[in-house]
Structure 1
């Protein structure tokens, strides 16, 4: 059996103490003994909360099933009135009164919307990410939600895939740390608290590696790559106490993840010893027929439940088929009991048996949604998430001398800046960039706005450009607001061409020509890395703002005018061309790396190998100088930890935050190792002229890897350390492990 990454068993989620855990188990077993087979199967059935024609909750379609004990969980369920009424049907009108579990996709905010997860990852600020998750849990719990389908920890190296916006980018280590922070924020320390939610790590597994970046597509990879790159963030979330796991839509090596014995039984249960619940993604069991591994609903259910799925989201296949499958011996009732124990335990751990209405409190819902404190936190994180990609000639920051600013572009006056998966967020609450600039500008300043061109895919209309140019000629500074629409980086939103959609590039060219010598800054709002080579050639200043959330316009204005110094670093490489994809920083060297032989090398004839903007890259309005790397020795033993340190100095004139990044290379090993791997980072806040010494400890665990036999090990040999502000630059030093 392949080794795991951790000696620690994941075990019971939430890290419940032994006394409480024992009491919950007794409660669950007592209830399980009273249940009929039909009632057990009902607990394994999750259905969608319905809405009426106005979009308001309308639960009448499922009330009868709830009363009959045929529903264990309802998703897309929120709002105190809605959830209280549904819960009443379950606990007061069903035979056993088992409470419902209400789930909802709260990904980067419930009502107060924070930056999209990829933007949050660009902050490299784990405490800030945890705080955002804490606030979204507080708001969701106040609105009757028990369970959120987050964090999404799919490592993704193909920006054509729309769901990159929902994850933390291309790196396993960074994604793992963020997964832990999000679980801590969502679940808090006490699962019985009324302002926490149960977390659900997804999508298990390797969904971010779909071929061609196409949604729901095939994944085929070695088990070595699966275990080395794609699974560690899931284990990290579960070690942090994550309550549940969601299966992925994709196939993995010719088996759909929803009926994959290696994933669901061997790794999750036997190796990691996870005792929590597994739920499918939406209709995933039904889709086993489309995949071609099940001929009908009965076969799909049998394969999924026997592989280890505990709850069926929306297909209703379990409720339709499991009774017969148990009766004819194709599914053991003991397997049903196992699934139901996990579901009931989660409900008990959340305190729903003690008080099924504990999350339904009108006063709490009214008080905490979109509070001033939450908006301030959203604004702060939005500022931290922005990445300054280019600032030629120090165009940025702008200053108060600018009295007429031409705001040009399709995203300059829109409220569609909160991104997809925005929970119960309302676009009407969103601060536009135009409003944010107006809030920041001095009293007699003027904003001249023109859309200029559309950001809709395929819309090549340039008729609005002339009107935009007329405003540019009247201005003393220009802000170009370009990017994608929220719907174009989302689930089922893959793009083959990830350049600026519509005629935005032509708009940018014309505006830059008309602007002459006046300051012009380009702000990008998008959910994925874009192919920006042509824009980069002409635009002097580019600020990557992602979709910043509810406080979008205010946060962007804060950064454009230098009230906040940008400190974000890219969590995902921006390609120079779509033809490079997948392009990522921790690649293998190959046997014929570029630079050894002028012709027979691993390279392109027409473009560089390197991305336009690499992983970890991000500029500042100040400058940082890295001193020489120092260490006490150059040779250590296998069990030893090596300390490396260097001085970082703010050599500019502004306060700044620098993310100091540690990369490690195992130069010679029994299997090929990446050119560099992120193994640590520290965020430094430095005033002008100040210096701070940064120390990293390179532990045996950081030097370990999976060998060809899938055994986690460390080997002696030569290692190279790189410390700097980006994956492609920094001070280097070598040491040897003997």
Structure 2
């Protein structure tokens, strides 16, 4: 399937009236309007613009009861509301804001993480597509639908690099790699913000969590982070910089402390880096209550002190913390906070409201007719199905068991997720009444003809230890030609505050797989979840394994498409899968150490384990296809380069199998000797290529100075002269072509 139609399909449901480019005033015109408005505002009204409350109906964090919030909106003491959705409700709340003295409109925000009315695969699953067009199309549909429901602002994308799958929020991000994560950050910002803020199919992106939240100690949510500046700048900051460069409207700071300073009160992050070196012009919102949480950190003595520290550090808006609205005015009067800092924060917020066109028409996004037309369209669900297909990773396919034959007479669906629809939505999805999430069983029903009989047995529950259903599962399997097993996590087992010390398949699910495998029937195992899981026995013994994550509204249909070969899986893992929790963190771009093990196997007086290999069970970049590919004829345009030059690297990629399919050709580089120890390999480029059987294509990568650069001992971004090793393969641990070149000054 061509990649190009995805964005076109995603746009079909929008309607011609949405596609007209919004003519946003020039920045200097907006600046003048902001200054004119700011000059009329009292201190209390200014602080109100920095105050955000949640809906009473929905809370996504600890809730502070506040019966006066709607009166405060009428009094001009609220700048934004979150968890308000729907054209009717947003209009109603906006009407309250229009009763305030200056009639400054509210911003409505919502966590639109992987789809709004139509649920898309979780972000980590989409990252497995390695397909920027697909990822952008997902965010585009989400923006179109949410904007049609009166929402102006999504708290996404999460761009935290994460190397610890115990951390539940890996499901929200793009995995372990900085280069891939940076490209995905850009794609999601483009998708959310479309042709520009103010268009009726665009929402403001919010890049989170600034910064280094993904490195929380022990994989425990909200925990401390301690790292060197080099690691911060090389690994964790680049995706944030990429999103800022793409024009992201807002940033959100993170819950964690970084090197002893809570991110919410961290001036180095917010003023020196984001608003200083990066010249970010948008505004920064706290995470839920993170300003007041600096008290629990032991960094602030009370809420007023927390407000002072957050404002000095550059946090512009207080999300459901009640710290700014209650404390900032007194701090200004006591000369502990300069009003100029508040003015700067208010300018940033007002500027976005003008960019969104809300001063022209506060209700322009709250149109019930448009909402009804746009939400849950056939085209949007089609896009969700295609993105879901692209997110599936084939981990094993012994004896080419897959794709299944559509002429199979009896198929048994076994496992606790076989008929589940709720779990397909994944965590951080938007709840809807009468939602239609396609289960695996329904997807198979939609796919097979009347000549095929579908059997079902749950076998066991997701989490408990009962084996009472094993006998029925075995009996069901014995009646079938092939068994499809659906195992994994419940939707609420990965996500915020969902850290797990044990990331093996929950409950007795792997025992169920053993029991069914013992029947001798061919078994396809589908693993569903929001993080890398451990399932070593299954990896060794199952005939075929597909990692299907949580795929959203069209999950069952997408899985059926892949099982029967209507789509050839092409996903690649964006995160390493460990063999055991004791390996964590395990990631591909580690350093050699002074006593490396060449093959990662246990060895005396080497950097290894006594009881298992260093290598992950499945490596970053890994993923199979129903077809096969050959890499050959590697050529370099030259073997040496100057710092102002480039090298062209080319090779031939050929589909040597029986099916049309996509391969992700991956380029890794290693700086062999440098003034700072460098990783054994780093992803620096990739191409996803569609080839028919027997078809070949010449793939070209360009290497420039920036791809060879790193932070030296003095934290200067530089490329040092010396030898570089280049590696090309279809995963980080399967290198098929190698060569070297040298850089000279």
Cα distance change on mapping 1:632 and 1:17 into 2, 3 Å: farther
**What's the Cα RMSD here?**
1.6
Q: Among residues 239, 259, 274, which one is paired with 1:268 in the alignment?
A: 274
User: Partner of 2:259 in structure 1?
Assistant: 253
Select the residue among 404, 409, 412 that pairs with 1:403: 409
Correspondence for 1:90: 97
Alpha-carbon distance between aligned partners in 2 of 1:139 and 1:564, rounded to the nearest angstrom: 27
Tell me the equivalent position of 2:454.
Answer: 447
Q: Decide which of 641, 644, 652 is 2:657's aligned counterpart.
A: 652
5+ long unaligned stretches in structure 2: 1-21, 60-64
Does the CA contact (< 8 Å) of 2:51 and 2:79 recur in 1?
A: yes
Structure 1: state its 5+ residue gaps.
Answer: 1-15
The alignment's TM-score, normalised by the length of structure 1, stands at 0.95
Deviation at 1:632, TM superposition (A): 2.3
* Superposition deviation, residue 49 in structure 1: 1.4
Q: How far apart, CA to CA, are the structure 2 residues paired with 1:425 and 1:671? A: 52
Alignment partner, residue 582 of structure 2: 579
Aligned partners of 2:352, 2:197: CA distance in 1, in Å? 9
The 1:403–1:625 alpha-carbon spacing in structure 2 relative to 1, beyond 3 Å, is same
Shift of 1:52: 8.9
TM-score normalised to the size of structure 2? 0.94
8 Å contact kept, 1:137–1:195: yes
Secondary structure of the 1:224 match is helix
Match of 2:718 among 694, 707, 713: 713
Structure 2 counterpart of 1:417: 424
* Pairing partner for 1:382 from 388, 397, 419: 388
Match of 1:392 among 384, 389, 398: 398
> Is 1:81 matched with 2:84?
no
Deviations 1:10-69 (A, max 9, x none): xxxxxx99961011111111100000000000110000012299xxxx998632110011
Q: Which residue, out of 417, 434, 440, partners 1:433? A: 440
Aligned equivalents of 2:598, 2:678: Cα separation in 1 = 19
- Write the distance in 2 (CA, Å) between the matches of 1:585 and 1:711: 25
Residue 281 of structure 1, aligned match among 282, 287, 304: 287
Please give the per-residue CA displacement for 1:493-518, whole angstroms capped at 9, x wherever unaligned.
0000100001101100001002x1x3
Q: Give the secondary-structure state (helix, strand or coil) at the position aligned to 1:298.
A: helix
Instruction: Choose which of 647, 659, 662 in structure 1 pairs with 2:667.
Output: 662
> How much does 1:519 deviate?
2.3
Q: Equivalent residue for 1:140?
A: 146
Structure 2 residue 128 is the aligned partner of structure 1 residue 122:
yes
Report how far residue 537 of structure 1 moved: 1.5
Q: Deviations over 1:680-732 (max 9, x none)?
A: 11111000001001000001111111112111011110001111111112211
Distance in 1 of aligned mates of 2:173 and 2:457? 33
1:461-512 Cα deviation digits (max 9, x unpaired): 1111111111111111100000000100010000001000011011000010
Deviations 1:193-243 (A, max 9, x none): 111001100000000000110010010000110011000000000000000
Cα separation, partners in 2 of 1:715 and 1:102, compared to 1, 3 Å: same
What is residue 66 of structure 1 aligned with on the other side? 73
- The reply to whether residue 510 of structure 1 matches residue 541 of structure 2 is no
Q: CA-to-partner distance for each residue in 1:79-116, whole Å, 9 max, x for gaps?
A: 0111001101101x110000000000001100111100
Between the aligned partners of 2:434 and 2:655, the Cα distance in structure 1 is 39
Note if 1:110 corresponds to 2:113.
Answer: no
Aligned to 2:309: 303
Deviations 1:264-321 (Å, cap 9, x if unpaired)? 1111122111121000000001100100111111111100011001000001110001
Tell me the SS of whatever aligns to 2:166: coil
Alignment coverage as a number of residue pairs:
714
Task: Write the distance in 2 (CA, Å) between the matches of 1:52 and 1:529.
Answer: 30
Give the whole-Å Cα distance in 2 for the aligned partners of 1:59 and 1:293.
26
Distance in 2 (CA, whole Å) between partners of 1:112 and 1:344 is 31
Aligned match for 2:39, one of 13, 33, 38: 33
Secondary structure (helix, strand or coil) at the match of 2:424 reads: coil
- 1:610-647, CA deviations, whole angstroms, 9 ceiling, x for partnerless residues? 00000000000000000031112211111110001000
SS of alignment partner, residue 34 of structure 1? coil
Is the 1:51–1:59 contact (alpha carbons within 8 Å) kept by the matching residues of 2?
Answer: no
Could you tell me how far 1:454 is from its partner in structure 2?
Answer: 1.1
Which whole-Å CA distance do the structure 2 matches of 1:483 and 1:375 have between them? 24
- For 1:600 and 1:720, the matched residues in 2 are separated by 27
Out of 559, 564, 572, which is 1:569 matched to? 572
* 1:179-194 equivalent positions in 2, closer than 5 A: 179-194=185-200
Select which of 629, 641, 648 maps to 2:646.
641
CA distance in 1, matches of 2:578, 2:535: 8
In the TM superposition, residue 427 of structure 1 has moved relative to its aligned partner by 7.3
Which one of 470, 474, 480 corresponds to residue 485 of structure 2?
Answer: 480
Task: Tell me the equivalent position of 2:11.
Answer: none
Kept after mapping to 2: 8 A contact 1:529/1:572: yes
Quote how far apart the aligned CAs of 1:595 are: 3.6
- Does residue 601 in structure 1 map to residue 631 in structure 2? no
Partners of 1:558 and 1:163 lie apart in 2 by 28
The answer as to whether partners of 1:569 and 1:615 remain within 8 angstroms in 2 is yes
